[in-house]
Amino acid sequence: MANQIDSLTGQISALADGSSTPVSLAEHSLEQARHQSALNAFVSIEASIVMDQASAATERRKSGRPRSPIDGIPIAVKDNYLTKDYPTTACSDAAPIEPGGVDATIVANLRAAGAIIFAKTNMHEWAFGATNTTSNIGVTRNPHNLDHITGGSSGGSGAAVAAGIVSAALGSDTGGSVRIPSSACGTYGFKPSYGRASRHGVLPLSWSLDAPGPITTALDDIPRLLPYFFGADPKDQSTRSAEAFQAQPPVLRPRLVHLTGRGLERSDEVDATVRNALDSTRAQLCEAELPRISTYFAAWEAILHCEASAYHRRRLEKGAEGYSDVTRAHLEAGKRLTGVELLEAQKVRGQLVRALFDDLPPWDALALPTLPVAAPRHGEDWQKFGGRRVATQDAMTWFCWLGNLAGLPCISIPAGTSLSGLPIGLMLMGRPGRDEDLLAIARIIDNDIGGR
């Protein structure tokens, strides 16, 4: 298609100057979805649903009454967001999900702005995994190499954006599930501070760790979407004090602390790529270690398992046959944890927050690789890096869970590629509630490293 622009920002410009229409964008996305079906990125996609929305958006623009700058832009939605025009299954046979015919708050906000709710994306079953290999419709494949995983649990969203099918997609993040596929697929992924974005209508994995977030082609696309994420929602009490999105000016020389040391190992290739990226920035950079990583990780796992098992308790009691063996094992493990262990984990959570703010050098953002390795191959159960042998599932969450346990805003940006041509991501974590500041810092870093 002529004048097709891959980024959301580019599509906004193309719609504004008339070089593209919502119909042409929708047709292109549908064509690409068909052409790249081997990715297995989508659970539900109906051309009639897409084109009805595109036709309505085109008419609004012809009459000079677009609802917003994103009116007519296709956006894909992870299959754990409720959508009134597509079923929601969380890629599990333990369905159907109730209620039907309802939009999650963020989906409703996007729909009200005229965005085309394009399709539902493949995900790791119930978001309880970080590889996107456990799904009732099969694995999602990495657009850079079909033999490699996308990471998860928002792997379908990451693949759809990386492949240029859509410019943006919705994900959810409990231990890195927006950032992991963003790193593995070479896109941008943002996890808001806990309580900043409404989770209403997003099927939970862990209430106190979950955050919805966007995956995009370009960094500038993220602030164009966050107004539809941020703000108080009476249907989600965790957002009762949430402020609306307000863009911030760039930070001149942000203070970055690169976290390293035991428990934060990474492959030599990833380490060299991230160090090279950080050394090329204008940021004030120092390194620091974070002791007790294994204790903090155990607390994150305990909270995750307890809260997930609590949510699924009634469904499991009715019949566990709809769950995969892997997901059912995780849920049964959570049932064995005690209330005392959960309270101890919450205590450790507070200790992590104090350690991040009291024991490290002054920082505006913390820096880490997003993943310790480039995207593994399908079927690889173990990863070796930094003198460790780590299960692939744990390797995918190796760094990212820190941001969820502490409630920090986090972003993954492309930092380079591996020798085999697979993307490597750089993760930045900001101060809670200071999401706009983190985006301003990320813009400085992304510009300095050339957005590679």
Phi, psi dihedrals of residue 230, rounded to the nearest 5°: -85, 155
CA angle 148, 152, 158 (to 5 degrees): 75
**What element of type H or E holds 146?**
strand 145-149
CATH of domain 1-289+364-452: 3.90.1300.10
Nearest to 165 by CA among 185, 148, 147, 149: 185
Which among 20, 29, 153, 157 is annotated as catalytic? 153
Specify which residues 366 forms β-bridges with. Answer: 257, 429
The answer to whether 288 touches 361, Cβ cutoff 8 Å, is: yes
The token pair that represents 8 in the structure block: 């959301």
The rounded percent of the chain whose pLDDT value lies above 90 is 94
Which among 78, 182, 198, 208 is annotated as catalytic? 78
* Residue 62 designated active-site: no
pLDDT exceeds 90 at position 46: yes
* Mean pLDDT value across residues 268-283: 97
Distance CA 217, CA 168 (A): 7
Cα–chain-centroid distance for residue 169?
Answer: 9
Starting at the earlier edge strand, list the strands of the sheet with 255-260.
Answer: 42-44, 116-121, 74-78, 168-173, 211-216, 188-191, 410-417, 423-429, 365-369, 255-260, 284-289
Distance CA 72, CA 61 (A): 9
* Residue 177 designated active-site: yes
- Classify strands 255-260 and 188-191 as parallel, antiparallel or unpaired: unpaired
* Mean pLDDT value across residues 351-355: 98
Distance CA 365, CA 430 (A): 5
The answer to whether 130 touches 175, Cβ cutoff 8 Å, is: yes
What average pLDDT does the structure give for the chain? 96
The answer to whether 247 touches 223, Cβ cutoff 8 Å, is: yes
Peptide bond into 99 cis (omega under 30): yes
The rounded percent of the chain whose pLDDT value lies above 70 is 98
Distance CA 73, CA 53 (A): 10
The answer to whether 185 touches 408, Cβ cutoff 8 Å, is: no
Residue-wise pLDDT tens digits, 84-132: 999 999 999 997 676 778 999 999 999 999 999 999 999 999 999 999 9
Nearest to 232 by CA among 208, 193, 194, 198: 198
Cα–chain-centroid distance for residue 386?
Answer: 26
Rg (CA), the chain: 20
Indicate whether this model's pTM tops 0.85: yes
Handedness of CA 135, 425, 218, 208 (dihedral sign): positive
Confidence band, pLDDT 50/70/90 cuts, at residue 452: very low
Peptide bond into 412 cis (omega under 30): no
Distance CA 421, CA 267 (A): 15
Residue-wise pLDDT tens digits, 129-145: 999 999 999 999 999 99
* Residue 153 designated active-site: yes
Residue with tokens 């965790």: 238
Which among 177, 193, 309, 412 is annotated as catalytic? 177
Which sequence spans correspond to the domains of the chain?
1-289+364-452
More confident: 117 or 3 = 117
